[in-house]
């Protein structure tokens, strides 16, 4: 208890003096400043990443102009995704029962499954028609059925929780304009 009483007396003496209060505030600021700077830096980085992702989505789905700061790889990925989205649109539009498809859901799932994938020679072997059929007559609230259909027909495609979260975000963006 003696140590506590001594600390209390020292604290009272330091805080009762204007110079003492200034020193305490400087010490607190010095301790908290690195934490505040890290939080600000992370916020800035995450905001920049979000804007880049939204720009990428706009380029792929809305044919927005590709920003000059995008790398050659990003530009190629956008062109690849635009071509694949056009194929999905054409396949579904050519179906007699085109109204049985939620095209935005099909495109959102494809985008999230293929995001960042490099185009390959195997792309010609991918059965985009069968991929689209996985979504036939499935409304968005029942998307889990589409995921099961994909797993059954395309075992090489893994629908992870991250993919599902991405699909939800992209779908909301496409249907409601909601950006996350």
Structure confidence by residue, pLDDT tens digits, 71-129 = 888 888 899 999 999 999 999 999 999 999 999 999 999 999 987 565 555 556 789 99
Buried b (16+ CB within 10 A) or exposed e, 103-132: bbbbbbbbbbbbbeeeeeeeeeebeeeebb
The structure's pTM equals: 0.67
């Amino acid at each position: 208890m003696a140590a506590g009483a001594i600390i209390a007396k020292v604290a009272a003496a330091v805080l009762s003096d204007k110079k003492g209060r200034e020193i305490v505030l400087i010490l607190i600021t010095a301790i908290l400043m690195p934490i505040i700077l890290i939080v600000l830096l992370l916020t800035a980085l995450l905001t920049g990443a979000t804007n880049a992702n939204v720009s990428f989505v706009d380029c792929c789905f809305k044919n927005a102009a590709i920003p000059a700061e995008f790398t050659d790889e990003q530009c190629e990925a956008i062109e690849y995704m635009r071509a694949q989205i056009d194929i999905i649109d054409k396949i579904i539009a050519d179906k007699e029962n085109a109204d049985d498809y939620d095209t935005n859901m099909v495109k959102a799932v494809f985008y999230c499954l293929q995001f960042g994938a490099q185009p390959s020679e195997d792309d010609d072997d991918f059965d985009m028609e069968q991929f689209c059929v996985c979504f036939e007559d499935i409304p968005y609230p029942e998307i889990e059925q589409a995921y099961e259909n994909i797993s059954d027909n395309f075992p090489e495609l893994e629908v992870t929780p991250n993919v599902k979260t991405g699909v939800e975000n992209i779908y909301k963006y496409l249907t409601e304009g909601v950006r996350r």
